């Protein structure tokens, strides 16, 4: 159905793709694996018409095609569901679909046409989405369904999904995989770009592995297992083992007592949540997404204040109503869940994004003068120390970094001060195996130096791998606490119980 032959692409001297081949057949689910920066996204952006290749050819149904833009690709039946959804939040679902696909009819008629089509498709696939609701009011999983609906209505024969499960909970991921299977059975060719090895092994028909812009392997899931596939991806073996703390402090570093917070829409986000975190431990907070994790993260960062309850930090005292600035002064640093919302200013340079924490602490020059020379030497040290790749020039925009490197930059900055309390909210989301392992190693290092680490993650594997103690958050409360090693099924039970 889709065939890519010997495609190359470079960006200002950087060879993103080097004579890469790739193909996908009707009714096939083809996984595309590789580390951050291996060239997966560039390859798929070429397929969907966003980039044009320097050399090589793209064929659809054995016919060579040249795309001038995404519209061309859509006409050839190629649809892409991007990692960051491209929906207009203030438009209704149906308007979003019409923005993408517009049958040449009068407005009223085409709206009816699209509505009917969307309804019948949604019915076939088992979606329950209100088509008149604003896209911004949908959950992430539903937004993704709208994206899929969008490309299907436009007549996509090949659907490319870029890390579709990165933002989904386990249940939602399973549902999505069932849906994808259904589409493939109906004859659609599916390309699944992913970091999750299990996903590729369990659900795909063929696996292509890319490394440094080249296709290095094409294997069938039955021929490999998790370990050997990881090895193919990173070129070496990364073994993840648990390693528990040995020096937990006597008294807690931070205490939360009966905290209640309302969410953005005024509903209850956290209700009377209480837990303590000790120095030298990683406290994992497990839970299904949307059970108060983001409110808890905002609370810890000082972006949100509770309407009842008390937060105490050792050596500081009552910090319940402090803002983010004060919180950081008290030694609470964080790796936020959305790097580009709370972690980095994409338009600012790598240098500025790194230096800002130290500038606020008053370490880089005085009020009158920002000491750029000192900042430069510091950032260069940190980039090496934290292995941030892809920085050609420290004055380049931070938004040009790939996901893994952007995350490393955030961590480098957050770890540049004295570590006391660290919040890590889904710190390895969207990262490849190697980068994820590096992040985990950093968190462990911080813990071993005596810091209290709060790890919020919807990925139970990550929680089990990292935590010394685990609290399960359910409907804005800590439903149960476990001391590692804990039973996976018991935690899972507490995550979904309705008590």
Quote the CA–CA distance of 179 and 81 in Å, as a whole number: 14
Q: For other proteins, how many residues bind (rule: CB under 8 A)?
A: 53
- Compute how many other C-beta atoms are within 10 angstroms of the C-beta atom of residue 250: 6
Asked whether position 396 contacts other proteins by CB under 8 A, the answer is: yes
**What stretch of H or E contains 50?**
none
Asked whether position 26 contacts other proteins by CB under 8 A, the answer is: no
Asked whether position 303 contacts other proteins by CB under 8 A, the answer is: yes
Burial class of residue 146 (count of CB atoms within 10 Å of its CB; 0-12, 13-18, 19+): buried
Give percent helix, percent strand, percent coil of the chain, each to the nearest 5: 40, 25, 35
Residues 331-360 that bind other proteins (CB under 8 A): 334, 336, 340-348, 352, 356-357, 359-360
Is the bond leading into 485 cis (omega within 30 degrees of zero)?
Answer: yes
Instruction: Give the x-and-dash track for 131-170 against other proteins (CB under 8 A).
Output: ------------------------x---------------
**Whole-number minimum distance, CB 53 to other proteins, in Å?**
10
Asked whether position 301 contacts other proteins by CB under 8 A, the answer is: yes
Q: Scanning the structure block, which residue is given the tokens 């800590």?
A: 478
**Whole-number minimum distance, CB 157 to other proteins, in Å?**
10
Helices (H), 388-452: 403-414, 433-448
Query: Which is closer to other proteins, CB of 154 or CB of 443?
Result: 154
Residue 70: partners with Cβ closer than 8 Å, 6 or more residues away: 48, 49, 50, 80
From the list 367, 373, 489, 499, which residue makes contact with other proteins (rule: CB under 8 A)? 367
Bridge partner list, 58: 4, 65
Asked whether position 71 contacts other proteins by CB under 8 A, the answer is: yes
Bridge partner list, 311: 256
Asked whether position 66 contacts other proteins by CB under 8 A, the answer is: yes
Record the tokens describing residue 496, joined without a space. 């979904």
Residues 311-330 that bind other proteins (CB under 8 A): 324-329
**Piece of the chain touching other proteins by CB under 8 A; list 91-99, 249-257, 263-271, 368-376:** 368-376
Residue 241: partners with Cβ closer than 8 Å, 6 or more residues away: none
**Whole-number minimum distance, CB 24 to other proteins, in Å?**
20
From the list 128, 241, 266, 368, which residue makes contact with other proteins (rule: CB under 8 A)? 368
Residue 365 has, within 13 A of its CA and on its CB side, a CA count of 14
Query: Which is closer to other proteins, CB of 245 or CB of 334?
Result: 334
Residues that bind other proteins (CB under 8 A): 11-12, 14, 50-52, 65-66, 68-69, 71-72, 75, 101-104, 155, 301, 303, 324-329, 334, 336, 340-348, 352, 356-357, 359-360, 365-370, 392-393, 396-397, 400
């Amino acid at each position: 159905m889709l065939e890519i032959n010997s495609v190359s692409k470079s960006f200002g001297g950087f060879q993103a793709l080097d004579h890469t081949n790739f193909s996908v057949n009707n009714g096939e689910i083809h996984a595309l694996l590789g580390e951050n920066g291996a060239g997966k996204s560039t390859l798929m952006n070429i397929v969907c018409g966003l980039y044009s290749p320097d050399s090589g050819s793209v064929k659809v149904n054995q016919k060579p095609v040249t795309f001038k833009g995404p519209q061309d690709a859509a006409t050839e039946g190629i649809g892409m569901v991007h990692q960051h959804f491209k929906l207009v939040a203030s438009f209704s679902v149906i308007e979003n679909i019409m923005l993408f696909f517009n049958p040449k009819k009068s407005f009223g008629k085409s709206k009816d046409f699209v509505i009917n089509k969307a309804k019948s498709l949604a019915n076939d696939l088992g979606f329950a989405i209100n088509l008149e609701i604003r896209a911004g009011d949908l959950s992430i999983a539903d937004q993704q369904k709208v994206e899929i609906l969008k490309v299907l209505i436009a007549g996509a024969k090949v659907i490319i999904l870029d890390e579709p499960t990165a933002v989904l909970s386990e249940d939602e991921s399973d549902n999505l995989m069932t849906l994808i299977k259904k589409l493939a059975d109906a004859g659609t060719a599916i390309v699944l770009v992913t970091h999750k090895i299990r996903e590729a092994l369990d659900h795909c028909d063929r696996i292509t592995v890319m490394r440094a812009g080249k296709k290095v392997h094409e294997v069938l899931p039955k021929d490999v297992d998790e370990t050997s596939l990881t090895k193919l991806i990173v070129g070496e073996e990364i073994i993840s083992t648990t390693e528990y703390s040995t020096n937990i402090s006597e008294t807690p570093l931070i205490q939360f007592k009966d905290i209640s917070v309302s969410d953005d829409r005024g509903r209850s986000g956290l209700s009377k949540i209480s837990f303590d975190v000790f120095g030298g431990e990683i406290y994992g907070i497990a839970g299904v997404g949307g059970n108060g994790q983001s409110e808890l993260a905002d609370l810890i960062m000082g972006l949100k204040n509770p309407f009842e309850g008390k937060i105490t930090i050792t050596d500081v005292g009552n910090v319940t109503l402090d803002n983010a600035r004060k919180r950081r002064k008290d030694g609470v640093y964080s790796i936020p869940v959305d790097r580009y919302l709370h972690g980095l200013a994409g338009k600012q340079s790598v240098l500025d994004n790194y230096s800002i924490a130290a500038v606020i602490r008053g370490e880089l020059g005085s009020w009158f003068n920002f000491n750029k020379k000192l900042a430069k030497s510091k950032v260069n040290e940190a980039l090496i120390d934290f292995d941030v790749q892809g920085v050609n020039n420290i004055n380049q925009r931070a938004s040009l970094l790939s996901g893994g490197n952007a995350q490393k930059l955030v961590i480098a900055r957050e770890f540049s001060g004295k570590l006391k309390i660290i919040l890590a909210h889904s710190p390895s989301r969207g990262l490849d195996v190697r980068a994820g392992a590096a992040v985990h190693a950093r968190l462990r290092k911080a813990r071993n130096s005596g810091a209290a680490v709060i790890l919020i993650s919807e990925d139970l594997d990550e929680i089990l791998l990292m935590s010394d103690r685990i609290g399960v958050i359910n409907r804005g409360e800590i439903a149960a606490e476990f001391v590692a090693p804990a039973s996976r099924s018991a935690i899972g039970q507490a995550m979904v119980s309705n008590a």
